[in-house]
Structure formats: C-alpha cells, structure tokens
C-alpha cells in the first residue's frame, strides 16, 4: 500500500470552491504575497549595508541596489514564476513536489535526478518555513527601537511571545483568521505604496534606477562586494516560491492579476521611496522603512507590520504542512498525523509533529541571531536552492510535456537558471554568517527521506522473497478449501500480485477463509487529485477473491470506506457491518548483516515506529479492524 498520511478526523470530500475572481484575487493577496510583501521591512536596508561594506552609502550604491531590486522582481518573480511557472501546473497544483510529479509524468517515470531535485526543493522550502516567521516578526518588532531605544530589550521577548502564540493556535484552524488576511494585506500594500510616494519627491532622480545599466555597472565594478550585495538583494524575491506553491488555492489568473496590478507596483513604490529618503537623509539607512513614516504614524505602522508578518508566517507554516503531506503521500516520508481543522476545506490541515518541529526551529533561530540583520545571513540560501531546483525541473516540463524542442526549451529556461545560480552563489558567501543552518537542515531532511526510500525498498525486497504469488494461493485453496465463514474480509497490501501477510496469518493460525475476500491496494498517483470515475478498479480473481485498487492523488487523503462504497456503482456489494479489515503491523529489528549502515538501519526503524497507525489513515472504524503482527529484520 502506498505510504500516506493519516488523519484524526475524516476529511471532507471537497472540490475547490467556486469563488469569484475578485474574491480569489483578494485571497491571493492575503496568503500568497505575505512573505514577499514583508521584505521591504529589511531587504533594502540589508542590501545597502552590504554594498557600502562598512562605508558611506553613496548615490551610486543606492541607484545600483535599487536597480538590482527592480530587475530581480521583474526577472525572478514576474517573468519566471508569474508568467512561466504558473503555467506549469499539475492539474492546477504548484510547488516543487507538484513540479517533480509533473516532470515524472512528462518523462514517463520518476527518475532519480527529478526525485533528488524534488527532495531538495521540498527540504529547503521547509527550512524557509522556519526562517520566515523569525526574520519577519523580528523585523516588525524592531520598529519599537525607533519609538524609543528603551524598548530595545523587549524586541526579542515580544517576538517569542508572538511566535509561540501563532504556533499554539494552529491546532484550532485558521479559517476565521484567514478571512481577514486579504483585507489586512490590502491595507499593508496600500500603506507601502503611500509611504513610498510620500518620499520619492525627496529625490525624484531615484527613478532612474529603472534603467538596468545601474545594476550592470555596479555588479561589473564591485567584484566580490557586488556578489555579497546580490545575496542581500535576493531578500526581495524570497516569496517567489510561495506564490507557485499556493497555485492550487487560488488559480493562475487571480495570482497573476494581483501581482501585476497591485503587489508589484506597491513594492516598487516603497523601495523607490526608501531609496529617495536615504539619498536625501543618509542617516536614515539604519532603518529606512520605519523612517518613511511620520512620528505620529509609527506605532500604528508597527502594529500593521506585526499583523503582516504574522500573516506571512502563517502562509509559510500552512505551506510546510502541505509540503510534508505531499511528501508523505508520494512515499518520501512515513505517515504523519494530519488533523483537519475545517469541515468545508480539505486544504486546511494541522500536523502536530511538524508544527512542534517548526516552533522549536523558529525559537532557536530567534535565540541564536536575535536581530533581523543577523538572520538575513541565514535567509536566502534555502529559497535560492529551491529556485534552482524549480528551474531545472521546469526545463523537462517545457521540453517533454509542452513538446518544445530541447534547444528552444533551454533558451527559455537557462537564462532563469543562470540568474538563480548567481543568487545561489551569492547566498553561499553568507555560509558562515548563518546560511549553514538551512543547508544543514536541508541535508538532514534529505538524509531522512533517502533513508526512508532506501529502507522501504530493502524491506520490500526482503519480504518479496518469502511471499507467495496470489494466483498460486488461489489455485491451492480451490483444490483444498479451508473452513469457510460468512462475511467479507479486506486484506490491505501494497502489491496485489503477492499474498498479503495478514491473509497468510489468518489461514495459518485461524485456519478459516471468509466467504468474500478482497485484496485491497491503495495507489498514490502523480496527479494532485483523481477523478471519482477513476477512483476504483475491480478485478475478479475467483469466486471468493477480488482485487480492488483505489487511486488517490498526492493532494488527497484516502478514505477507504467512502471509496469502497463508491464501488457499489460498479456492481460490487459492500456492507461495512459484515466486513473485517485485516492490517499487517510490522515490527522491525536490525539484521546482523544489512544493506545499510547501522546508523541508517536505526534511523529507518525509528522512522517506521514514528509512523501513525494505518487504520487512522484509511478512516476505517476501529471496531472493524484486525491487526496482525509480524517481525522483520532489516
């Protein structure tokens, strides 16, 4: 059976709700653009400091940095993500794992390079889900130091309180809070635009930074400092992956419209306003964002910025939940408990262990770095790695799935890959300033996923040696039938061609066979969702045996009783009250001689033990389940 997620509550059978274009656009502003929308709090400041390299922030630096910011937003976010990758959707879904599944479909199989790229992208996205809440909330709270330096000591404690509260409410669901996300972020982006417009007149010459020559000239004349500056400039595009990952929630056109006609103009106006302010008043470089506001507006702006950063944090936390669930569905991780927090929207989920892991990671980041400037060194490497992986996978999609010639696909994608690789190299320069942390986390995630995949493959290979082909057993039972008892027995297995362990144990120890026996397999498709008409496949083996295959997409949580009830339409009689489900529970022990190192054996066994009960995952009533224990050495 395909490894998948488990849930404490039955998920609703939910197609995407049909909402108006305006409602979807407002929703996308609230969820999709929270991360990129809070970048003005720190991005221009960090880039200008990096370019100045401890010296004075000159006009050349301001125009060069602004020009790099403008063209980073236009090339990376607008051209690559909004105009190109949003079209590379997997039945309406986006994100690294969706792109990996789409690439696998394009090539006809899931190849090792695509698998590695998908794992890297997903691991780094989860790393970003730790850094974004920490740097965003810290940067908002740092406005207190401008109100009065006496509040400086309260920045970190208040940040911790806000973050702990945010992660604590995840289990209650975000439906009510999410309803306010759009309006709050609309106010935020309007505020960004107005604050920028108020100060562009300080030095209108700042608008010349639209000319890419300023960026080219700065990069060409500043050597390593230019590369360091690019690493800081990358902070303005760190929400690019999030808008692609959230494609399935809002659709391509609302996300594109919101970006092109609202979010992008607001961001550009604010960055130009910060640049003009610094040119007119160089001392404001210490915190140009909050210096845009008049003193009477400072406290309300801090409150609004805090709300915006909480929303940005919520978006990436929800994204991490979704990514982990997809990874579990695709067999990359053991089953995690999934709780549904909404009766109307299956996408609103809560993963307790993932939530705890993220909270611990976020608090460690705040405790280690203590300022948004300190965290800026760690930020960027995770997202730039994901963007490189996306660009490479996009090439296969454009080439094979869109049927472009290889040269034409390369001409389209390679320039984006070069830009992404340049930003990746720039962020690598921050390795000892904090970039090691997300890289270490990504490496740990990759080791966990690789161990799970390798261990599962070895386990299947070992059990295959002692399993009996299904057809052989059926012929044997027809010749010498055991005692037949009434009712239906459903035996769950990952491979219907071989006899499930639970069936063999039932015959061996109970010495009975049910009147009707179902060999049930659950498959996870490369599609995000499977049409109801394709959900069930039936194959009659004999009078007493039927093979049933249930297909689900990697964005769905399987509900076996509901799917089996749907099989009635195909002529199969199914009565839950006279049905018993037999599930195998393996107890793994390390073998004296293994195909994996001892540490990897131990890790795989621990991962297996941490997996949630398959009964919960299948939503089978516990009173109808019979668990059969087996011991396997690996």
Helix (H) or strand (E) holding 517: strand 512-524
The mean pLDDT of the chain is 86
pLDDT score of 19 more than 70: no
pLDDT score of 369 more than 80: yes
| Chain position carrying tokens 């806000």 | 162
Give the model confidence (pLDDT) of 318-362 as tens digits.
888 888 888 888 888 888 877 766 555 555 678 898 999 999 999
Give the model confidence (pLDDT) of 406-444 as tens digits.
999 999 999 999 999 999 999 888 888 888 888 888 888
Find, among 16, 33, 264, 243, the residue nearest to 136 by Cα. 33
Q: Please give the pLDDT value at position 417.
A: 95
Q: What is the mean pLDDT of residues 472-488?
A: 89
**Three-state SS at 548:** strand
Residue by residue, DSSP assigns 271-335 as HHHHHHHHHH-GGGGGSHHHHTS-GGGHHHHHHHHHHHHHHHHHHHHHHHHHHHHHHHHTTSS--
Q: Please give the pLDDT value at position 176.
A: 57
Burial letters for 163-182: b for 16+ Cβ neighbours within 10 Å, e otherwise? beebbeebeebbeeebeebb
pTM assigned to the model: 0.81
How far apart CA 366 and CA 370 sit, in angstroms, is 5
Q: Please give the pLDDT value at position 146.
A: 84
What percent of the chain is modeled with pLDDT above 70? 94
How far apart CA 380 and CA 426 sit, in angstroms, is 9
CA 516 to chain centre: 42
Q: Please give the pLDDT value at position 47.
A: 94
Burial letters for 563-575: b for 16+ Cβ neighbours within 10 Å, e otherwise? bbebbeeeebebe
pLDDT score of 16 more than 50: no
Q: What is the mean pLDDT of residues 249-253?
A: 83
CA 293 to chain centre: 35
Give the model confidence (pLDDT) of 108-148 as tens digits.
777 888 888 888 888 888 888 888 899 889 999 988 888 87
Fold of 20-453: Amino acid/polyamine transporter I (1.20.1740)
How far apart CA 41 and CA 135 sit, in angstroms, is 10
Q: In what order do the strands lie in the sheet with 625-633?
A: 536-540, 545-552, 512-524, 483-492, 579-589, 625-633
Find, among 426, 389, 435, 145, the residue nearest to 291 by Cα. 145
Q: Is 17 exposed, middle or buried (0-12, 13-18, 19+ CB in 10 A)?
A: exposed
Q: What is the mean pLDDT of residues 451-478?
A: 85
Q: What is the mean pLDDT of residues 48-61?
A: 91
Strand partners, 539: 547
How far apart CA 301 and CA 140 sit, in angstroms, is 9
Q: What is the mean pLDDT of residues 246-269?
A: 90
**Three-state SS at 248:** helix
Torsion of CA 223, 225, 226, 232, to 10 degrees: 160
User: Beta-carbon neighbour count of residue 368 at 10 Å?
Assistant: 13
Q: Please give the pLDDT value at position 15.
A: 36
pLDDT score of 183 more than 50: yes
Q: What is the mean pLDDT of residues 55-66?
A: 94
Q: What is the mean pLDDT of residues 72-99?
A: 89
Q: Mean pLDDT highest for which of 22-36, 174-188, 292-306, 517-531?
A: 292-306
Give the model confidence (pLDDT) of 307-327 as tens digits.
999 888 887 888 888 888 888
pLDDT score of 10 more than 80: no
Residue by residue, DSSP assigns 354-417 as HHHHHHHHHHHHHHHH-SHHHHHTTSSHHHHHHHHHHHHHHHHIIIIIS---HHHHHHHHHHHH
Q: What is the mean pLDDT of residues 5-21?
A: 44
- How would residue 495 be classed by pLDDT, with cut points 50, 70 and 90? confident
- How would residue 227 be classed by pLDDT, with cut points 50, 70 and 90? very high
Give the model confidence (pLDDT) of 560-604 as tens digits.
888 888 777 777 777 777 788 988 877 777 777 777 888 888 898
How many Cα atoms are found within 13 Å in the side-chain-facing hemisphere of 389?
26
Here the tokens at position 383 are 């997202």
Going from the C-alpha of 608 to that of each of 334, 452, 585, 620, the distances in angstroms are: 7, 8, 10, 21
pLDDT score of 11 more than 70: no
Instruction: Give the CA angle between residues 129, 132, 134 to the nearest 5°.
Output: 110
Q: Please give the pLDDT value at position 347.
A: 56
Contact 80, 391 (CB under 8 A): yes
Question: How do the domains of the chain map onto residue ranges?
Answer: 20-453, 469-633
Cβ-proximal residues to 275 (8 Å cutoff; 6+ apart), any chain: 44, 62, 63, 65, 66, 203, 206, 209
Q: Please give the pLDDT value at position 14.
A: 36
Q: Please give the pLDDT value at position 346.
A: 52
- How would residue 519 be classed by pLDDT, with cut points 50, 70 and 90? very high
Lowest mean pLDDT segment, chosen from 32-46, 251-265, 435-449: 435-449
Instruction: Compute φ and ψ for 366, nearest 5 degrees.
Output: -60, -45
Q: What is the mean pLDDT of residues 471-480?
A: 88
Q: Please give the pLDDT value at position 3.
A: 34
Here the tokens at position 78 are 């607008």
Q: What is the mean pLDDT of residues 471-483?
A: 88
What percent of the chain is modeled with pLDDT above 90? 37
Give the model confidence (pLDDT) of 271-303 as tens digits.
999 999 999 999 999 999 999 999 999 999 999
- Number of residues that this document lists for the chain: 634
Helix (H) or strand (E) holding 61: helix 59-72
């Amino acid at each position: 059976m395909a490894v998948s997620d488990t849930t404490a509550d039955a998920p609703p059978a939910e197609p995407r709700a049909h909402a108006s274009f305006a409602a979807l656009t407002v929703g996308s502003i609230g969820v999709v653009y929270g991360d990129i929308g809070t970048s003005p709090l720190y991005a221009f400041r960090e880039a200008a400091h990096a370019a100045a390299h401890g010296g004075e922030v000159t006009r050349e630096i301001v125009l060069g940095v602004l020009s790099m910011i403008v063209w980073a937003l236009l090339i990376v976010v607008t051209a690559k993500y909004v105009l190109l990758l949003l079209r590379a959707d997997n039945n309406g879904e986006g994100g690294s794992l969706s792109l990996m599944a789409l690439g696998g479909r394009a090539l006809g199989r899931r190849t090792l390079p695509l698998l590695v790229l998908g794992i890297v992208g997903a691991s780094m996205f989860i790393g970003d889900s730790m850094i974004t809440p920490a740097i965003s909330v810290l940067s908002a709270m740092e406005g207190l130091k401008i109100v009065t330096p006496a509040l400086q000591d309260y920045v970190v404690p208040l940040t911790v309180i806000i973050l702990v509260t945010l992660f604590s409410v995840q289990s209650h669901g975000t439906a009510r809070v999410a309803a306010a996300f759009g309006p709050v972020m609309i106010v935020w982006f309007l505020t960004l635009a107005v604050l920028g417009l108020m100060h562009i007149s300080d030095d209108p010459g700042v608008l010349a930074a639209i000319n890419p020559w300023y960026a080219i000239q700065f990069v060409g004349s500043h050597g390593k400092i230019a590369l360091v500056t690019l690493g800081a400039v990358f902070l303005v595009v760190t929400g690019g992956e999030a808008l692609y990952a959230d494609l399935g929630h809002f659709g391509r056109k609302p996300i594109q419209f919101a970006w092109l006609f609202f979010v992008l103009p607001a961001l550009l106006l604010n960055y130009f306003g910060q640049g003009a302010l610094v040119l007119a008043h160089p001392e404001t470089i210490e915190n140009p964002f909050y210096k845009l506001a008049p003193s009477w507006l400072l406290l309300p702006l801090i409150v609004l910025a805090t709300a915006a950063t909480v929303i940005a944090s919520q978006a990436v936390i929800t994204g991490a939940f979704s990514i982990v669930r997809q990874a579990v569905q695709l067999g990359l991780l053991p089953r995690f408990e999934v709780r549904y927090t909404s009766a109307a929207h299956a996408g609103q989920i809560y993963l307790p262990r993932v939530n705890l892991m993220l909270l611990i990671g976020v608090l460690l980041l705040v405790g280690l770095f203590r300022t948004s400037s300190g965290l800026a060194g760690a930020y960027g490497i995770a997202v730039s790695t994901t963007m490189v992986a996306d660009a490479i996978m996009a090439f296969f999609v454009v080439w094979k799935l869109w049927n472009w010639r290889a040269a034409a696909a390369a001409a389209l994608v390679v320039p984006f890959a070069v830009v992404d690789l340049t930003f990746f190299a720039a962020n690598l320069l921050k390795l000892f300033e904090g970039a090691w942390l997300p890289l270490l986390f990504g490496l740990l995630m990759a080791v966990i996923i690789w161990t799970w995949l390798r261990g599962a493959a070895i386990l299947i290979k070992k059990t295959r040696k002692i399993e009996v082909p299904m057809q052989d057993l059926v012929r044997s039972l027809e010749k010498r039938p055991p005692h037949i008892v009434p009712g239906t027995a459903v035996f769950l297995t990952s491979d219907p061609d071989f006899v499930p362990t639970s069936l063999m144990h039932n015959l061996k120890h109970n010495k009975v066979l049910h009147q009707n026996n179902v060999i049930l397999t659950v498959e996870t498709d490369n599609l995000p969702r499977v049409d109801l008409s394709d959900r069930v496949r039936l194959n009659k083996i004999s009078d007493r045996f039927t093979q049933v295959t249930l297909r689900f997409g990697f964005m769905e949580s399987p509900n076996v009783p509901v799917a089996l009830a749907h099989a009635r339409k195909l002529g199969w009689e199914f009565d839950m009250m006279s049905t018993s489900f037999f599930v195998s529970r393996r107890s793994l022990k390390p073998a004296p001689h293994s195909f994996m190192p001892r540490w990897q054996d131990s890790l795989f066994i621990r991962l297996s033990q941490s997996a949630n009960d398959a009964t919960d995952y299948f939503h089978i009533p516990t009173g109808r389940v019979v668990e059969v224990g087996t011991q396997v050495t690996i």
